[in-house]
């Protein structure tokens, strides 16, 4: 397994582009992205659990019923959610692209992100598609990553190479996500591509399994979005024998997928709206995985813990408090807590009680941009990791006038 450049264009046969078409007022911001496979690809997806879902999700779910896709089109600046003509607009996006590229509209994944409940005009998209298609290139994955950003401050892309049956394969992805992010899929859009040959059934199995320990363990602000979607396209152009069942080759594919999704999770959490720090809660010593996940999520979601991390305050009692109300069956008299960063590690709690520690050393550790909160439950062999960010003044500022 090796980290490589290229994002969604790292895999053979994938091209991408991102442009400004006019959905967003700021002409410096790209607002329309395209990912294209030179051949039809097996596809899989997972979607938000929110009962209110964006129209593009309904269209994409229908398009992917046959497990095949060849292109992904996504706009930013408008979520196309809670609009009377939302389905019509989403269908028009796929239809216009399909006509321009001479592919089936049923093979187009459609996505949107931005403000909810605001009509989306198809005109700028229609006028932008020719330029979007004309600029398709194996070098433009980064432009596609920019085109799906909303309040994100950094583009998010990553890729790996790996071997299946002696054949080198590639898998890469781009993501957007900064606010309205909470476990069970967040306001994130993630598009992953691979040239590994794998059946659509096994691709769906891999994705559905992976998200339980990756994207479903990310929380920025406790709000589960309406437009979340993760899709994977596998065009098989690496030339390996198809992975159509579980086994060693499927395990290798799962590892490659997980390497990319964990990296994207960390990027999303670290770029939370107004965030200054990436928080990672690593729980060990749980009786079962469910307990470990519940505890990790509760700590990462605690507004008081997040605020303490912003202030570099080693207020470990807030971590214990979050564990206590999590609903997980835990013996608090066995709980230990440490804070870790590149400046070192400091133990602040042992067996459910505080220990003497240097406040100066703790502050030095917590002033770093990446903080690990280690929680030991002292009861079993299971663990889990969740990702989040600190809670800052800027989060309220960003969301106080997000629409206006």
Is 368:343 a contact under the CB 8 Å cutoff? yes
How big is the CA angle at 400 (ends 395 and 404), to the nearest 5 degrees?
Answer: 130
Q: Tokens 């306001």 appear where?
A: 187
Q: Which residue among 113, 150, 187, 259 is the active-site one?
A: 187
343 token code pair: 């400046």
Q: Reduce the DSSP state of residue 176 to 3 states and report it.
A: strand
Burial of 119 (0-12, 13-18, 19+ CB in 10 A): exposed
Q: ∠ at Cα 283 (280, 284), nearest 5°?
A: 145
- Nearest Cα residue to 8 out of 129, 136, 198, 178: 136
Q: Rounded to an integer, what is the distance from CA 127 to the centroid of its chain? A: 29
- Asked if 40 and 113 touch (Cβ cutoff 8 Å), the reply is no
Q: Do residues 339 and 314 make contact, with C-beta atoms less than 8 angstroms apart?
A: yes
In order of 53, 142, 144, 368, the CA distances from 137 in angstroms are 32, 11, 10, 38
187 included as an active-site residue? yes
Active site residues: 187
């Amino acid at each position: 397994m090796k980290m490589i450049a290229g994002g969604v264009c790292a895999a053979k046969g994938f091209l991408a582009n991102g442009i400004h078409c006019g959905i967003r007022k700021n002409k410096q911001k790209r607002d329309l992205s395209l990912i294209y496979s030179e051949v039809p690809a097996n596809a899989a997806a997972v979607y938000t659990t929110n009962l209110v879902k964006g129209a593009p999700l309904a269209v994409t779910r229908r398009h992917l019923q046959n497990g095949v896709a060849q292109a992904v089109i996504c706009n930013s600046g408008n979520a196309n959610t809670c609009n009377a003509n939302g389905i019509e607009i989403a269908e028009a996006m796929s239809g216009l692209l399909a006509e321009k590229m001479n592919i089936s509209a049923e093979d187009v994944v459609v996505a949107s992100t931005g403000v909810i409940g605001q009509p989306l005009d198809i005109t700028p998209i229609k006028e932008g598609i020719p330029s979007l298609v004309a600029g398709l290139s194996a070098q433009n994955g980064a432009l596609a990553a920019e085109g799906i950003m909303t309040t994100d401050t950094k583009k998010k892309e990553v890729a790996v190479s790996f071997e299946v049956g002696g054949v080198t394969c590639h898998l890469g992805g781009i993501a957007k996500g900064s606010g309205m992010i909470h476990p069970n899929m967040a306001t994130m859009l993630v598009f992953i591509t691979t040239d590994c040959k794998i059946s659509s059934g096994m691709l769906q199995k891999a994705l559905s399994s992976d998200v339980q320990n990756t994207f479903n363990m990310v929380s920025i602000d406790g709000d589960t979005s309406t437009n979340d979607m993760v899709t994977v396209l596998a065009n098989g152009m690496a030339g390996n024998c198809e992975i159509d069942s579980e086994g060693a080759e499927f395990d290798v594919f799962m590892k490659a997928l997980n390497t990319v999704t964990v990296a994207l999770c960390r990027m999303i959490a670290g770029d939370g709206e107004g965030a200054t720090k990436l928080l990672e809660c690593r729980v060990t010593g749980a009786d079962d995985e469910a307990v470990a996940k519940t505890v990790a999520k509760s700590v990462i979601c605690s507004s008081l813990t997040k605020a303490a991390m912003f202030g570099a305050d080693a207020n470990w009692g807030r971590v214990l408090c979050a564990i206590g109300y999590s609903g997980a069956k835990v013996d608090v008299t066995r709980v230990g807590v440490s804070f870790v960063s590149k400046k070192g590690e400091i133990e602040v709690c042992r067996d459910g009680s505080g220990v003497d520690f240097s406040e100066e050393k703790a502050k030095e550790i917590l002033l770093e941009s990446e903080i690990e909160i280690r929680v030991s439950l002292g009861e079993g062999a299971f663990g889990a990791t969740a990702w989040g960010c600190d809670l800052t003044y800027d989060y309220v500022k960003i969301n106080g006038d997000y629409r206006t």
